[in-house]
Amino acid sequence: MTWETVIGLETHVELCTKTKIFCSCTTEFGGAPNTHCCPVCTGMPGTLPVLNKKVLEFAVKAGLALNGEITRHCKFDRKNYFYPDLPKAYQISQLYLPIARNGRVPIRLESGAEKVVHIHELHMEEDAGKLVHDPWLEETRCDYNRCGVPLIEIVTEPDFRTAEEVIAYLEKLRSILQYLGVSDCKMQEGSLRCDVNLSVRPAGSMELGTRTEMKNLSSFKAIARAIAYEAKRQIELMEEGKSVVQETRRWDENKDATFAMRSKENAQDYRYFPDPDVPPLEISEEYLEQLRREQPEMAEEKMARYQREYGLPPYDTQMLTSQKALAAFFETCLSLGSDPKQTANWIMGQVLGQLSAKGIEAKDMKLTPSTLVTLISMVKGGRLNRNTAVKVFEAVFDDDGDVEGYVKAHGLEQINDPEALTAAVEKVFAANTQSVADFKAGKEKAFGFLVGQVMREMKGKADPQAVNSAVRKKLNAER
């Protein structure tokens, strides 16, 4: 029998407001334990939450960008459960009237196929603190810094069938939220967290199977592997004639497997009810209109525009818009007069290469557009050959170094002296008579070798085009 995997996602996204959702404490990541909190976010008796209007704004912007219907009369509810990282013993969340519903996110797959992921709802809530276990003292300590950091939870319909679709959606979601400027979506810092609901069913069946929920997925790679593992586990169970137990499972990165955390029988009754401390929100058409107007140009719109205005191929535009900061970098380069295609090539090749080698994101890099533009124009003006330019780029990337200064200090400027080139060619031909003979005998490979030798003689500073033509000319002359 063939099986179909059915997946739905619950994604928690930390909003990058300066202050917390119900008090004015900073949302900054890290900090010494219990230094980013106050009586309100630690739920001290008698204190009251007051909604940060910026959180509503960010959530509505996200809801609009995901093509959702904004709930005009919207409320907060309390989700009650006991845990030491939750100092009020309830989380202020939204169950009955979430801020947005019925969104749609179109995604594109590797094959070029397109698919729409349906968003069931988007709601606002507060984050909990964290527990720090000290194995030496056998003590558990509470750090409430993260308490009250604003989150949106985005719940999809069970629309996914493969890990590829899931990753494509998450990348799209991350791009949208980053472009909106509502979250930095850093999985490693927990500002984007994803729970995966997965079930399997016989191919062709319309009924949903029993699902499990997987938690502790801290990277896209972990998500893909967890999906593969869990689908296989469930299919094996089914094929053995056993049944899947509805439960929450924890992904163990080191063991590459999921493990049961708690079953449905032990599921908590959260006793949701409307929070009497936070008055219902009435969202006006004017407010929505204003936020619609403020919506920035998204990756897809930029892609289309880059293709239209600069004639860039779709692949390039996709790469350039993969991070908001990268697209902004690109656009600034162009505004400084740089050529679109050359700039795109440098960004896709060198900039992305360095970012990935250094493991940083575009928004955190120090390199400025003007530095790249200088480099590109030096190549264009014949002052640097491309290979040397790449070396210079790598040298200045980390701290946005001075290109001119570096080139001068290391004597890297291109040598455009025809006599020096002729001399080098003469020298190489004299020293490599066998290669010259090989070429004449029809071995085209020898040409490349000779060019390389001349370049080496010129200490890499010659214009490769000029070297090419000089070698070719000399060979023709000898023939």
Partner 1 sequence: MDMELTRLTALELGAALKKGEASPADAIAAAQERISACQDTNNAFITPASPSPAPIGDGPLAGVPMALKDNICTKGVQTSCASRILGGFIPPYNATIVERLSAAGSVSMGKLNMDEFAMGSTSETSFYGPTRNPWDLSRIPGGSSGGSAAAVAAGEVWYAIGSDTGGSIRQPAAYCGVTGMKPTYGTVSRYGLIAYASSLDQMGPIARSAADCAAVLDIMQGRDPRDGTSLEGHYGGLLPSLTGDVRGLKIGVPADCFGQGLDSEVRKAVLAVAHVLKSRGALVEEFSLPIMEYVVPAYYIIACAEASSNLSRFDGVKYGWRSPKYEDLSGLYARTRTEGFGSEVKRRILLGTFVLSTGYYDAYYKKALQAKAVITKAYDEAFQKYDVLLTPTTPTTAPKLGESLGDPLKMYLSDIYTVPVNLAGLPGISIPCGFDSQGLPIGAQLIGPPLGDGIILNAAHAFQQETEYHKKAPAEKGGVSL
Which stretches of the chain bind partner 1, using CB under 8 A?
39, 42-51, 78, 80, 82, 84, 87-90, 142, 269, 271-273, 276-279
Instruction: Read off the DSSP letter of residue 153.
Output: E
Residue 276: count of CB within 10 angstroms of its CB:
8
Helix H segments across 198-351?
A: 220-239, 285-294, 299-310, 314-320, 324-335, 340-346
Cβ 32 to partner 1 shortest distance, Å? 18
Task: Output 56 or 167, the one with its CB closest to partner 1.
Answer: 56
Task: Output 82 or 136, the one with its CB closest to partner 1.
Answer: 82
Task: Output 47 or 102, the one with its CB closest to partner 1.
Answer: 47
Task: Output 51 or 224, the one with its CB closest to partner 1.
Answer: 51
DSSP of 275-301: -TTSPPEE--HHHHHHHHHHPPPPHHH
Q: CB-hemisphere CA count at 13 Å for 169?
A: 31
- The crossing angle, in degrees rounded to 10, of helices 285-294 and 53-65 is 70
Task: Output 33 or 464, the one with its CB closest to partner 1.
Answer: 33
Cβ 308 to partner 1 shortest distance, Å? 48
Cβ 80 to partner 1 shortest distance, Å? 5
- Cβ–Cβ < 8 Å for 320, 306: yes
Task: Output 45 or 381, the one with its CB closest to partner 1.
Answer: 45
Cβ 138 to partner 1 shortest distance, Å? 12
Using CA atoms, how far apart are residues 228 and 7, in angstroms rounded to an integer? Answer: 11
Cβ 97 to partner 1 shortest distance, Å? 14
Cβ 312 to partner 1 shortest distance, Å? 50
Helix H segments across 381-417?
A: 386-397, 403-409
C-alpha closest to that of 234 among 193, 267, 196: 196
Using CA atoms, how far apart are residues 338 and 373, in angstroms rounded to an integer? Answer: 6
Task: Output 19 or 416, the one with its CB closest to partner 1.
Answer: 19
Task: Output 50 or 235, the one with its CB closest to partner 1.
Answer: 50
Cβ 166 to partner 1 shortest distance, Å? 30
**Given strand 77-80, what is the order of strands in its sheet?**
90-93, 77-80, 273-274
Cβ 379 to partner 1 shortest distance, Å? 58
Q: Which residues pair with 121 in a beta bridge?
A: 101, 155
Q: Which residues pair with 11 in a beta bridge?
A: 154, 194
